[in-house]
Amino acid sequence: MRTDYETLILERREPHILVVTLNRPDRSNALNTQMGSEMLELFSGFYVDQEDLRCIILTGAGSKAFCAGGDLKQRNEMTDESWRRQHAIFEQKTLAMMDCPIAIVAAVNGAAYGGGLEMALSADFIYAARSARFAQTETRLGIMPGAGGTQNLPRACGVRRAKEIILTAEPFTAQEAFEWGIVNKLCDDERLMEEAMATARKIAANAPIALRQAKKSIGMATQVDLKTGYAFEIEAYNRLVPTEDRLEGVRAFNEKRKPDFKGK
């Protein structure tokens, strides 16, 4: 795994936990072509090799913004061809995040507008600072959400609320995001990363293969009918039966100790 990205800071703060920080604070961590390419490379790599990670926390540099969305200064006067090329990178970045086998927690520390909200929604769940603000602003710019917003937002808050958010393009508060089911937990600003890390530790303490299989199975819940989804769950479950981690988990329970999972 590379650690020399220009727009991302990677920190292994604890075993099995990686903090990824969007690092363009002078541009409110806006998503430009470079950041899109680097995120695509990073998350695509995890599909192949999980690097002994069990949880990723995604946050933004500074206290002003998580991610303000697409970098409109870079996009100013872009040709149609250049716009489509850039957006193709953003599309693949979104798919790479959603396909990432490692659990992703978005720690939204400031404004998450447009593509920034879509990026947070591409994580498995969101913790937010109380001062954070959210919006899908694309219709004010003559476009529409194109990084999963029309798909992930309705799954989080319901179709009618998602229509209101996207069609009005009006900002909303972290409290409203929490009440609407977009955000899992509200945190005092100064405690956001502390609380995200506490949850990451709980995830990282669990069996890595089981985490990956469970995440894939949950992802099917809104994609297929109940019986097809349950068939997928059973298949995912049965792949865990012959693992060393399954034996270790049961043995540790009976021996009244913490399990030592190896991902085997």
Cβ-Cβ contacts under 8 Å for 229 (sequence gap 6 or more):
217, 220, 221, 223
Cα–Cα nearest to 165, from 156, 175, 153, 174: 153
Contact 139, 167 (CB under 8 A): yes
Q: What is the pLDDT of residue 197?
A: 97
Any catalytic annotation for residue 190?
no
Name the pLDDT band for 77 (thresholds 50, 70, 90). Answer: confident
Model pLDDT for residues 190-238, shown as the tens digit of each residue: 999 999 999 999 999 999 999 999 999 999 998 999 999 999 999 999 9
Model pLDDT for residues 9-68, shown as the tens digit of each residue: 999 989 999 999 999 999 999 999 999 999 999 999 999 999 999 999 999 999 899 999
Any catalytic annotation for residue 118?
yes
Give me the residue spans of the domains in the chain: 8-204, 208-254
The answer on pLDDT for 137 being more than 90 is yes
Share of the chain above pLDDT 70, in %: 100
Sheet architecture: strand order including 111-113 = 65-67, 111-113, 133-135, 172-173
165/114 Cα distance (integer angstroms): 11
* CA angle centred on 15, ends 12 and 21, rounded to 5°: 25
* CA angle centred on 154, ends 150 and 157, rounded to 5°: 140
Contact 35, 22 (CB under 8 A): yes
Q: What is the pLDDT of residue 13?
A: 87
Q: What is the pLDDT of residue 1?
A: 82
Of 51, 118, 164, 194, catalytic: 118
Contact 58, 106 (CB under 8 A): yes
**Strand, helix or coil for residue 33:** helix
pTM: 0.94
Per the CATH hierarchy, to which homologous superfamily does domain 208-254 belong?
Lyase 2-enoyl-coa Hydratase, Chain  A, domain 2 (1.10.12.10)
222/67 Cα distance (integer angstroms): 27
Of 41, 81, 138, 255, catalytic: 138
The answer on pLDDT for 72 being more than 90 is no
Q: What is the pLDDT of residue 27?
A: 94
User: For 111-225, where are the alpha helices, taking DSSP H only?
Assistant: 115-121, 149-157, 159-168, 174-179, 192-204, 208-219
* pLDDT average, residue stretch 130-150: 96
Q: Right CATH number for 8-204 from 3.30.70.100, 3.40.50.10420, 3.40.640.10, 3.90.226.10?
A: 3.90.226.10
Please tell me the total number of residues recorded for the chain in this structure.
264
